[in-house]
Structure 1
Amino acid sequence: MPPLYRIGVDVGGTNTDAAIIDIAATDSPSRGVCAATKTPTTPDVTSGIYTSIENALAQSQVQRQDVVSVAIGTTHFVNAVVQADARRLSKVAVVRLCGPFTKQIPPFTEFPEDLKGIMGGPVFYLDGGLEIDGREISPLNPSQIQQTISAIQSAGIKMIALVGIFSPLDHSGIHEETCKKQMLALDPTLSIVCSHSIGGVGLLERENATILNASILTLARKTVRAFCNAMVRLQLDCPLYLTQNDGTLTDAATAAELPIKTFASGPTNSMTGAAFLASLDKGTRGSEEEATTQVLVVDVGGTTSDVCALLPSGFPRQAPNFVDVGGVRTAFSMPEVLSVGLGGGSKVVVDGETGEVRVGPESVGHYLTQQAMVFGGDVMTATDVVVASGKGDIGDKKRLEGRVSSEVASKARAQIKKMLERAVDSMKISALPVKLLLVGGGSIIQMDDLEGVAECVIPPHHDSANAVGAAIAKVAGEVDMIELLAQRDEKQVLDEAKQRAIEVAVARGADRHDVKIVEVEKIPLAYATNKATRLIIKAVGRLAPPDAQEASKLQDVAARNDSGVAINDESDEEDSSAPISKPKSLHSSVKHAIHVDFDTYKPDVRDKVWYLSAVDLEFIAAGTGVLGTGGGGPSRQQYLISLQLLQTPGNEGKMRVVAPPSLNDADICASGSWFGAPSTSGERLPAGDELTKAIDHCMRLAGKDTFHAMITDEIGGGNGMSAFASGVAYDVPVVDGDLMGRAYPTMEHCLPFVYGEKLTPCVGTDGRGNVAAVLNAENNRRVETMLRSQCVDLGLMIGVSSAPLTGEAVKKYVVPNTISQSWYIGRAVYHARRSKSNMIKAIFDTSPGKLLYTGKIVDVRRDVTRGYTMGYCLIAPLSADERETTVEPDVANESRCLVVPFQNEFLYAAYADEHSPEDQSKQEVICTVPDLISILAQDGEAIGSQELRYGLKVNVIAMAAHPLWTTEAGLKVGGPRGFDLDMEWTKLGDYWEPRSVIEEFNRAG
């Protein structure tokens, strides 16, 4: 058998690394690495790649005909976005297949102004799109498509982002692909990117990523063709691949069409390369070791250290939430990497007065060999500490004599140890001991045993792990679908889905005999009664044996667009003499508080009417998250809707808030809120008239011709802001208060209905004109169940309006000033972030409460019962070193774990046995509903029950419920018994009525 070699290249900001792997020698101690080289990264990227490969071939003496593949990881494409480089970015038209939906939040809403100015093209809303269960919202309309293409041609645009509602859950992206085919038939010169090939559920984030991908297509095709030409000059006749964000390969042709999937491949290459070099892929870890340890990788450079957890599949853990790229919120797959300011070049600073020693985050970077003391410089670095401690033979140790004392070295060494321990602990995926892999040129700074780390390994060729990771990357196939499991063989459905993932991997070039299922995720959908379950399955296998004809075809296709038309660029190479764009100031179009002086900012309150601003909305969004007690849905979507309306010409002065006492007893107050599942609300965005239609029908059924104000059902989460849009639509104010004082899972939890006010008529509507009304019901719980069945039929998200209330009833049952309370909490959170002050103290200065616990989530369990997301999270205490803020002694000294069960919202908090947290006989309850329990991240951001995950460091806080909840009638519905909990409510503390923005900032005229 002739020798076979794979070449891996990783293009970094400073260096371009290349490595050559002998496939037949991967069982050797060197893992088959024949050569590894570093070359300065060049402005045109391609020249550096050429040089690095040429040097590696020369060093290894490998014959070119024996190279079977080249894999490249590059940051070239993401740099164009981050730099907002207009020379490299194209204008994009956006086409949504959505029927009547999504119009309330248009495309480009979250783009910074600079990028929007460069990329922002015309927007079209066409028939099409799917419901969460696969039903059509509406069929495609060929005449609409034809009209859209004519308009795009008139605008002179060639790039199109095509986005269909719930397209990622369709097995073949049928609506998007069918529409694309019809568009290309009308104009074959167009370049069309379908969103289902870019990301998962979450329409705005997937759409944003699709727009970015479409905008860099010309650059990607040109760059990939340049890579192919470099291979021709290198006389390498083999397939070319690019590495993707998740650590797998994509062929050159696909990379030229989906470049966004290569944006973050660098860190992933380092992590997978580390695992390979440490022989973790060889099965050297026995089943016993796999069950008792977890693997983390630390890639130590000159300035920073990147830390990532490796899953049992051998791939890095992916970021669970959304990722910002160039200021744009996206949802494509990206590894979760923690970067800390610690590297070989980190500066070591000694405080002359206290003698305290600080390491980093400042660094000498690539000037290490000039500025570090061991190389004759005058800057003390982490590398100097390593040498002074006798842990490294670098430079000239004699140069440290009399300059780095043993005391300073010892303190710096202890600081480095603590920083590494904190980083490792932050990225752990379980409580098991850690096997730590150290790679990168700066890995020598790890000098001492780390707490919780069972073993530290510095593998061979550790400083070239990134290039090695590219060389050995595998191929993946993934399916993401909704299946209805009621009355079906669940195992059979799962097996069929697994086989589909395997076939996708094989189609992408994986060896069928090596493909394995590495990830299976089952997510039951709330409210669904047919066991609707989202399945996410990933299959991975090594690259199949090469085919010379396939290599030639790939390189040819890489230079063409998806319709087979050659790209007419002036040159295959980039102009290396052209000036490199400097990163621009990307002013966010949705972040306004960052420009505000919090100490001097005053809301606009005139004659006891509060006129909201963009800054006010941002504060309120943060505060409603805290008051959401784990539920209420995310506030961000309603913030974007409110912001759009606020900034629409003609709406000046219409978004306003008044105090409850300003109402007359005979005034009529309407309500409108969202009812349904978060899994739908993030994808099928509102049409814009759901709430107003519900209100109109409800008013008519109640026999009311007009109303005078809007009242918010629940202040917690997204519904805490939903009344603002309706207030603008009807030009009426919103009352500063709500009907719950928090978030609760059902409509019967509104206080007026708890105390006998009539809930019916109650109307639910969707964006297609469907209207469902409950005119009467035997009790409030029956209203809830009747509405929920309609909600399922209408796609798991509707607008709801309940019976209007008089001003007298509102004043009697409202929880007052909760919009103000949200504003004060949000301002406190933003202020504490900027000033680096105590976040919890800042919140409690505005809304008195109690810190229940500070710790790290170590377990999360979820299920769907009776339509609700049920479960609990278990939180373990932090050590003193892990705490980022000072906390009360009783919290700081707590050694027990805390369990927080939830039914959408958090129900209670109790000290629990870590081995059996659900056992109520071993629990000590410290807080229950109706008191408010919220879980906050270290930055004060509220964490919803659907966002809980292992490893998050959190603060659990509580605030007292309004007195109307603590009566016998209130506790019957909103207390523990209302949720079938066998426990009694114990008073947390006295309720304090929230401060009023209107009273504090009112001015005449």
Structure 2
Amino acid sequence: MSSGLDLRLGIDVGGTHTDAVILDRANSVIAKTKQPTSLDVTSGVRAAIASVIGQPGIDKARISHVMLGTTHATNAVLERRRLHSVAVLRVGAPSSVAVRPLFGWPAELVAAIGGHCEIVAGGYEYDGREIVPFDAEATRAFFTSVKGEVEAVAISAVFSPMFAAHELAAADIAREVLGPDIIVSLSHEIGSLGLLARENATVLNAALTEVAREVATALTTSLRDYGIDARVLYAQNDGTLMALDYAVRFPILTIGSGPANSIRGAAFLTGLNDALVADVGGTSTDFGMLVNGFPRESTAAVDIGGVSTNFRMPDVLAIALGGGTVVRQTAAGVGLGPDSVGYRLPVEGLCFGGSTPTVTDAAVQGGRATIGTTHVPDEHHEVLASALDVADSMIAEAVDRMKLGKGDVPMIVVGGGSVLIPDSIPGV
């Protein structure tokens, strides 16, 4: 093997598993591993790194780049946990007072970030004229009132993507009152025109900073401990990479990186530049479109955990169908999920001797998979057969929603739950 800095380490931290691979100069996978994702993140990352660099023929001194992708930001929003409390300031009175900040947010998400918000005078017209002067004193009073109660600040202003002076002035006051180390997210750095969706994205960005720092710290600490000196990059929503410090500053740009990674990986592995991609995980299945080798970008407002935003995101449709999705018999018929046994499938699934019927059990009974250690009990056969029909209908509907034309499209299936996908799907 040739020497030099010719190896790249890729790590994906999912909600269930942490995967790692090492590629050589020819883009061949020369080492790989799958480890359980730990609650503290760090342990799972360390285990994955230790596994791949310990495999035969791997010289860690040759690793030049480390690339990280993760669904932690998405999961934090969906699960309403590990989020910063945020002071939300809008510079826009009197022109934008009809709709308050955080309007339309799920109540539990508002509670998770503290619900501290205020609107002060300021903002610009589209041509750069001030609507009214910026109210610095009201801004100072608001930040003083939340001192000690918030960990981050989100600031938005009317037409700030074109004229950012009022946001910058408010940020200076926030640091003066709350301390120079307070996390500050500014909407003109994150979203586009459209105040409410841009403001929402900015608030989420501020709330997610600790999650991003946690994953970044886990990675950099593990690399240092194992003596790996390499450039670290973070996957972002459009399928490209960014520097780690940029990802910590703008974690919202990583929230779609999981599906984007799958879509880009599907293009790389198959050589197809235009196709439908289905990434089947333990809890959900993400559908996306490859266009010229990259994820198709969403042209509509993107809903994240019940919040409408307007920053760039891949056009992805997620359905609550995965390998660990729980199957239930209800009065209305057979129901799937949305809960999943996730990484506990090898313990709780029927085909592993457990007591929880899952979609994987349905796939095993239906002959699509040959995994497990135990025969699926006969009393579950009828329900599982119906569950497989329901799953197939969900998949067919998702495919139809993602297609833009009536003709058939090639479909690439990836992920640990890929055995759930039927051999024949209308439109594919």
TM superposition shift of 1:111: 4.2
Alpha-carbon distance change, 223 to 409 in structure 1, aligned in 2, over 3 angstroms: closer
- Structure 1 residue 311: deviation in Å? 2.6
Partner of 1:305: 285
Aligned to 1:163: 156
After TM superposition, give the deviation of residue 126 of structure 1 in Å.
3.7
- Corresponding residue of 1:104: 98
**TM-aligned CA distance change 1:52 to 1:99, over 3 Å:** same
Question: In the alignment, does 2:323 pair up with 1:331?
Answer: no
Assess if the C-alpha contact under 8 Å between 2:120 and 2:139 holds in 1.
Answer: no
**Does the 8 Å contact 1:349/1:380 carry over to 2?**
yes
Alignment of 1:6-405 (within 5 A): 6-22=8-24, 24-26=25-27, 32-59=28-55, 61-85=57-81, 88-96=83-91, 98=92, 100-113=94-107, 115-116=109-110, 118-121=113-116, 123-131=118-126, 134-138=127-131, 144-145=135-136, 148-149=139-140, 152-153=143-144, 155-156=146-147, 159-168=152-161, 170=162, 174-175=164-165, 179=169, 183=173, 189=180, 190-217=182-209, 220-221=212-213, 223-280=215-272, 294-318=274-298, 320-325=300-305, 327-345=306-324, 360-361=336-337, 365-370=342-347, 372=349, 374-376=351-353, 382-383=359-360, 386-387=363-364, 391-395=368-372, 399=375
Structure 1 residues 391 and 80, CA gap change in structure 2 (3 angstroms): closer
Q: Secondary structure at 1:59's aligned position in 2?
A: coil
- What is the CA-CA distance between 1:113 and the residue it aligns to? 4.9
Residue type of the alignment partner of 2:33? T
CA distance in 2, matches of 1:348, 1:116: 31
When normalised by structure 1's length, the TM-score is: 0.37
Q: Which amino acid aligns with 2:102?
A: F
Query: Contact 1:244–1:265 (CA<8 Å) still a contact in 2?
Result: yes
Tell me the residue number matched to 2:405: 430
Secondary structure of 1:68 counterpart: strand
Q: In 1, distance between residues paired with 2:104 and 2:377?
A: 55
SS in 2 for 1:231: helix
Contact in 1 for aligned 2:326/2:337 (Cα 8 Å): yes
Cα offset, 1:253, TM superposition: 1.2
Amino acid paired to 2:301: N
What is the Cα deviation at residue 105 of structure 1?
2.3
Structure 2 CA distance for aligned equivalents of residues 43 and 396 of structure 1? 27
Gaps of 5+ in 1: 27-31, 282-293, 454-1005
Whether the aligned pair in 1 keeps the contact of 2:11 and 2:67 (CA below 8 Å) is yes
Distance 1:451 1:84 in 2: 37
Q: Cα gap change, 1:391/1:259 in structure 2, threshold over 3 Å: closer, same or farther?
A: closer
Percent of aligned pairs with the same amino acid:
34
2:414 alignment partner in structure 1: 439
Pairwise CA RMSD of aligned residues? 3.9
Structure with higher Rg: it is: 1
The AA in structure 2 aligned to 1:242 is Y
Taking a change above 3 Å as real, the CA distance of residues 276 and 231 of structure 1, as seen in their structure-2 partners, is: same
Distance 2:336 2:250 in 1: 37
Indicate how the Cα distance of structure 1 residues 408 and 159 shifts in structure 2: closer, same or farther if over 3 A, else same.
closer
Shift of 1:161: 2.4
In structure 1, what is the Cα distance between the partners aligned to 2:328 and 2:105? 40
For 2:352 and 2:229, locate their aligned partners in 1 and report how far apart those are by CA, in whole Å.
Answer: 44
Question: What secondary structure, in the 3-state scheme, does the structure 1 residue paired with 2:419 have?
Answer: helix
Q: CA deviation at 1:41?
A: 1.3
Given that residues 83 and 208 in structure 2 are in contact (C-alpha distance below 8 angstroms), is that contact kept between their aligned partners in structure 1?
A: yes
State the number of aligned residues: 419
Deviation per residue, 1:595-640 (Å, 9 max, x gap): xxxxxxxxxxxxxxxxxxxxxxxxxxxxxxxxxxxxxxxxxxxxxx
In the alignment, is the contact (CA less than 8 A) between 2:101 and 2:117 conserved in 1?
no
Q: For residue 451 of structure 1, what is the amino acid of its counterpart?
A: P
Is the alpha carbon distance of 1:422 and 1:135 closer, same or farther for their aligned partners in structure 2, counting shifts above 3 Å?
Answer: same
Shift of 1:403: 7.6
Matched to 1:34, the amino acid is I
1:474-493 correspondence runs (5 A): none
CA distance in 2, matches of 1:167, 1:90: 23
Q: Are the aligned partners of 1:34 and 1:60 in contact in 2 as well (CA < 8 Å)?
A: no
Q: Note the alpha carbon deviations across 1:194-216, whole angstroms, 9 max, x for none.
A: 20111122211211221232344
Cα gap change, 1:312 to 1:139, in 2 (>3 Å)? farther
The 2-side partners of 1:214 and 1:394 are apart by: 43
Structure 2: how far apart are the matches of 1:419 and 1:185?
Answer: 49
Equivalent runs, 1:923-942 vs 2, <5 Å: none
SS in 2 for 1:232: helix
